[in-house]
Structure 1
Amino acid sequence: MTISRSVEDVPLNNFHKLLTIRSGGGSFVDGYVLSIIGVAMLQLTSGLNLSDFWQGLIAASALIGIFCGGFLGGWLTDRLGRKNVFFVGPTIFILGSLAQFWVESAMALFLLRFLIGMAVGIEYPVATSLLVEFLPRKYRGPRLATLTILWFAGAALAYVAGNFILSAGGDDAWRLVLASPAVIGAILFAVRMGTPESPRWLLSKGRAAEAESIIRQVYGPDFSLKNLPEQAEAKKLSVWNLLHSGYGKRMLFVSVFWTCSIIPVFAVYAFAPKVLQALNLKGDWASFGSVAITLLFVVGCIIATRLINSIGRRSMLIQSFLWSGLALLGLGAFNSGSEVLILLLFGAYALFIGGAQVLQLVYPNELFPTEIRAFAVGVGTSLSRVGAAVGTYLVPISLETLGIAQTMYAAAAVTLVGLLVAWALAPETRSLNLQQAASLT
Structure 2
Amino acid sequence: MPDIKDFDNASLTSTHKQWTLIASLGDFLDAGMFAGTGITLAAIATLLHFNTIEEGLPAFITLIACALGALFFGRLGDKFGRKYIYQVDMIIYGVSSILLSLTGVFPSNSFNIIWSMIFYALVGLAVGADVPTSWSLISEFSPKNYRGRLMSVTTVMWYVGVLVELGFAIALVNSGMILFRTIWIMLGLVAFLAWALRRRLTESPRFDILKGRTADINESAKKLNVKSRSDTKEEYSSRKYAELFKKYGPFLLFSWFLYLIWGIPASTYGEFFPYIFDSLHLVSARVTFAFEAIYFASAIVPGVLIFYYLSDKLGRVPLYLISAIMSSISFFMLVYPPFLKNVGVLLLSFLLFGIGQGLGVWPTTRLLSIEHFPTSLRNSGQGFVWFTMRFEAGIFGLFTPLIVGTSGIHVDYIGYIGGIFFLLAFIIVLILYRFHPEYVKTERKSLDETSYDNPIEI
The answer to whether TM tops 0.5 is yes
Counterpart residue number, 2:66? 66
Match of 2:161 among 140, 144, 154: 154
Name the amino acid aligned to 2:417. Answer: A
Counting only pairs closer than 5 Å after superposition, residues 197-346 of structure 1 correspond to structure 2 as 197-205=203-211, 207-220=212-225, 222-223=227-228, 226=230, 232=234, 234-245=236-247, 247-283=248-284, 284-302=286-304, 303-333=306-336, 334-346=338-350
CA distance in 2, matches of 1:200, 1:318: 31
Unaligned stretches of 5+ in structure 2?
105-111, 433-438
Match of 2:383 among 378, 381, 395: 378
Deviation at 1:233, TM superposition (A): 6.0
Is 1:436 aligned to 2:437, yes or no? Answer: no
Is 1:95 aligned to 2:95, yes or no? Answer: yes
Residue pair 1:73, 1:122 contacting (<8 A) in 2 also = yes
CA distance in 2, matches of 1:410, 1:424: 21
Counting only pairs closer than 5 Å after superposition, residues 156-175 of structure 1 correspond to structure 2 as 156-166=163-173, 169=175, 172-175=178-181
Name the amino acid aligned to 1:251. Answer: L
Deviation at 1:137, TM superposition (A): 1.0
Which has the larger displacement, 42-51 or 280-289?
Answer: 280-289
Deviation at 1:220, TM superposition (A): 4.5
CA RMSD, aligned part only? 2.5
Name the amino acid aligned to 1:204. Answer: L
Deviations 1:180-215 (A, max 9, x none): 21121122122112211222112212x242344224
Residue pair 2:210, 2:235 contacting (<8 A) in 1 also = no
Counterpart residue number, 2:126? 119
Is 1:361 aligned to 2:403, yes or no? Answer: no
CA distance in 2, matches of 1:4, 1:52: 53
When residues 222 and 37 of structure 1 are mapped into structure 2, their CA distance, relative to the original with a 3 A threshold, is closer
Deviations 1:141-196 (A, max 9, x none): 111121011011101111112342445x5655423333321121122122112211
Residue pair 1:124, 1:378 contacting (<8 A) in 2 also = no
Residue pair 1:253, 1:422 contacting (<8 A) in 2 also = no
Deviations 1:68-87 (A, max 9, x none): 01111211111111112113
CA distance in 2, matches of 1:306, 1:121: 29
When residues 180 and 211 of structure 1 are mapped into structure 2, their CA distance, relative to the original with a 3 A threshold, is closer
Residue pair 1:215, 1:223 contacting (<8 A) in 2 also = no
Which has the larger displacement, 5-14 or 16-25?
Answer: 5-14
Deviation at 1:279, TM superposition (A): 4.4
Counterpart residue number, 1:186? 192
When residues 192 and 288 of structure 1 are mapped into structure 2, their CA distance, relative to the original with a 3 A threshold, is same
Deviations 1:375-434 (A, max 9, x none): 111112111112211222222111118611222112212323333432344421002111
SS in 2 for 1:232: coil
Deviation at 1:257, TM superposition (A): 0.7
CA distance in 1, matches of 2:421, 2:134: 28
Which has the larger displacement, 402-411 or 259-268?
Answer: 402-411
CA distance in 2, matches of 1:190, 1:7: 26
Residue pair 1:317, 1:359 contacting (<8 A) in 2 also = yes
CA distance in 2, matches of 1:257, 1:439: 20
SS in 2 for 1:242: helix
SS in 2 for 1:375: helix
CA distance in 2, matches of 1:329, 1:432: 36
Counterpart residue number, 2:107? none
When residues 440 and 211 of structure 1 are mapped into structure 2, their CA distance, relative to the original with a 3 A threshold, is closer
Counterpart residue number, 1:394? 399
Which has the larger displacement, 345-354 or 318-327?
Answer: 318-327
Q: TM-score of the superposition, structure 2-length normalised? A: 0.88
Counterpart residue number, 2:26? 26
Deviations 1:209-249 (A, max 9, x none): 2344224423448538x57x6x636333222222123x101
Counterpart residue number, 2:44? 44
Deviation at 1:336, TM superposition (A): 3.0
When residues 344 and 221 of structure 1 are mapped into structure 2, their CA distance, relative to the original with a 3 A threshold, is closer
CA distance in 2, matches of 1:281, 1:294: 20
CA distance in 2, matches of 1:232, 1:107: 51
Counterpart residue number, 1:409? 416
CA distance in 2, matches of 1:428, 1:107: 47
Counterpart residue number, 2:13? 13
Counterpart residue number, 1:131? 138
Match of 2:440 among 422, 427, 434: 427
Q: What is the aligned-residue identity percentage?
A: 21
CA distance in 1, matches of 2:366, 2:226: 31
Unaligned stretches of 5+ in structure 1?
none
Q: TM-score of the superposition, structure 1-length normalised? A: 0.91
Residue pair 1:141, 1:309 contacting (<8 A) in 2 also = yes
Residue pair 1:202, 1:208 contacting (<8 A) in 2 also = yes
Deviation at 1:299, TM superposition (A): 2.4
Deviation at 1:368, TM superposition (A): 1.1
CA distance in 2, matches of 1:218, 1:171: 45
Residue pair 1:278, 1:404 contacting (<8 A) in 2 also = no
